[in-house]
Structure 1
Amino acid sequence: MLGLCMGLAGVVWAELPAPSFTLAWTHTIEKIRWEEDYRVTPSGLLLGEARIKGSGAGMEIPDGAELREGAWHYQSHLPPLQPLRLGRTPEAGDYQLCIDQRCRPLGDWVGPPQADRPALELWSCETGSGAG
């Protein structure tokens, strides 16, 4: 089954049989929430809609975004990401991974952010087989 793998340099730390997910985080300086909806495809993680609750330093509202329900909604036109690389540090807090509208910190699957492991990669993979 196609799903989501998490780890670094191709080494799988965790895998989830999720066909889609939302990645969410709070900007460390502006304290504004971002959310990005991804679909897991054989080519990689395809970013669909994204939402941001405001603007600030390094957080410009993208062209074509629409304000709905207190957040700016916009569509991405990026090719599939394989892998999606995330920076994680103890000082910045953690990302949230939301599946079926239930959000949990990424640390629930891969441990808390650590200074000696400042990155995490997400990619599409066959889950349940140990393949990455």
Structure 2
Amino acid sequence: MSELRTSTEMVPSARVEGDALVLSVRGEIDLHNSPELRTEVLDLLNKQSPKRLILNLGQVPYMDSSAIAVLVESLQKVRKSGGRVLLTDLQPRVKSLLEIARLGSIFVICKDEAEALTK
């Protein structure tokens, strides 16, 4: 496991575990700050090229459609190299948004990081 430097408070921690890039995301994600999240996630993906991107969303109480767009763009980037995106620790509001948008089928939803690391 190796810790990575992050340049934003929205992603307070990032680490590599095997073939996985594990990011913790914090705070509400909306139109105003989603570009910051997008930049951070895509920068880390470009540097690491992981087979699995694990996003711990346990500290994200709310996200809007702009956050969904960041998740989908990240998924497209990871899939280009045959990888997957796993979402963990979803709060009820965020989980219901993903279900409403019918995105539960394109992202792997896991209870926690430990489960995601085994998939």
**TM-score past 0.5 threshold:** no
Normalised by the length of structure 2, the TM-score is 0.26
Normalised by the length of structure 1, the TM-score is 0.24
Bigger Rg, structure 1 or 2: 1
RCO higher in structure (CA 8 A, sep ≥6): 1
Larger helix fraction of residues = 2
